Chain A
Amino acid sequence: MVTIAEEWLNSCSGCEIALLNLGETLLDLLPDLSFVHIPVLADNKYYGQTGERSALEIPKAQVGIISGGVRNEEHLEVLHVMRKQTDILVALGTCATEGGIPALANLTSTASMREMVYRGQPSTVPGPDPDTEAHHLPRMLERCDALHQHVAVDLSIPGCPPHPDWIAEAIGALLAGRAPKLPSRSVCDGCPTYRTGKSSSPALHRLLDQPAYDADQGLDAMQCLLEQGFMCLGPVTRRGCGGRTGSPRCISARVPCRGCYGRISAHTMPMVDYVGALTSVGQNFAAMPDKQGYLSRFDGSEAILKKLED
Chain B
Amino acid sequence: MSQTIRIAPLTRIEGHAALDIHLDQDGDVSEARMTVMSLRGFEKFVVGRPVEEVPRIVTRICGICPWQHHLASTKAAEACLGVTPTPTATKLRELCQMLATIPDKILHFYFLAAPDFVLGPDSDPAGRNVVGLVGAAPELARKAALMRYKTQMGLEKFAGKVIHPVAVLVGGFSKPLMEEDRRELTALAQEALAFSLESVKLAREQIFPKYLKLFQELGEYPSAYLGLVNPDDGAMALYDGIFRLMDQDGSYDEFPASDYLAHLAEKVEPWSYLKFPYMRKSGRLVMDEKAPVGVYRTNCLARVNVCEGISTPQAHGELEIFRREFGRPAHQAFLYHWARLIELVHCCERALELLADPEIMGRDIRTQPIAPRAGEGVGCVEAPRGSLIYHLKTDHEGMVTAANLLAGTTHNNAGMNLSLKQAAKTAIRGGVYDQGLLNTVEMCVRAYDP
Contact = CB atoms under 8 A, between A and B. Distances in A.
Given A43-B12, A123-B266, A207-B169, A137 B53 contact: no
B266 A20 contact: no
A136 B265 contact: no
A104 B45 contact: yes
Contacts of A72: 37-38
Contacts of B48: 107, 290, 293, 308
Contact of A102 (B9, B60, B126, B269): B60
Contacts of B439: 43
B182 interface: no
Contacts of B366: 210
A235 interface: no
Contact of A49 (B44, B125, B153, B161): B125
Given A71-B38, A72-B38, A253-B174, A116 B43 contact: yes
Contacts of A293: 48-50, 53
A183 interface: no
B268 A127 contact: yes
Contacts of A114: 39, 41
A147 interface: no
B197 interface: no
B256 to A, nearest CB: 16
B433 interface: yes
Contact of A250 (B10, B35, B160, B438): B160
A153 interface: no
Interface residues of A, number: 89
A182 to B, nearest CB: 19
Given A137-B272, A210-B368, A293-B50, A105 B41 contact: yes
Contacts of A108: 41, 44-45
A253 B162 CA distance: 10
B416 interface: no
Interface in A111-168: 112-114, 116-118, 121-131, 134-138, 140, 160-161
A216 B179 CA distance: 11
Contacts of A117: 39, 41, 43-44, 275
Interface stretch (A5-13, A79-87, A169-177, A268-276): A5-13
A253 B167 contact: yes
A137 B37 contact: yes
Contacts, number: 295
B166 A209 contact: no
Given A12-B63, A17-B163, A101-B57, A41 B39 contact: no
A12 B65 CA distance: 10
Given A50-B435, A129-B268, A136 B175 contact: no
A131 B160 contact: no
Contacts of B217: none
A11 B370 CA distance: 33
B145 A23 contact: yes
B163 A253 contact: no
Interface centre among A20, A108, A208, A289 (most CB of B within 10 A): A208
A206 to B, nearest CB: 6
B1 interface: no
A238 to B, nearest CB: 16
A260 interface: yes
Contacts of A113: 39, 41, 44-45
A105 B57 CA distance: 12
Given A14-B63, A18-B163, A125-B265, A135 B50 contact: no
B90 interface: no
A122 B45 contact: no
A35 interface: yes
B404 A121 contact: yes
Contacts of A11: 63
B16 interface: yes
B391 A122 contact: yes
Given A45-B9, A123-B404, A254 B174 contact: yes
A260 B160 CA distance: 14
Nearest to B277: A123
B18 interface: yes
Q: Which 10 A-B pairs have the closest CB atoms?
A: A14-B63, A253-B160, A42-B129, A49-B435, A23-B149, A252-B160, A51-B5, A12-B63, A127-B268, A131-B270
Given A127-B267, A130-B270, 12 more contacts: A12-B60, A35-B129, A42-B125, A72-B38, A117-B44, A123-B277, A210-B366, A216-B178, A255-B166, A289-B399, A290-B49, A308-B48
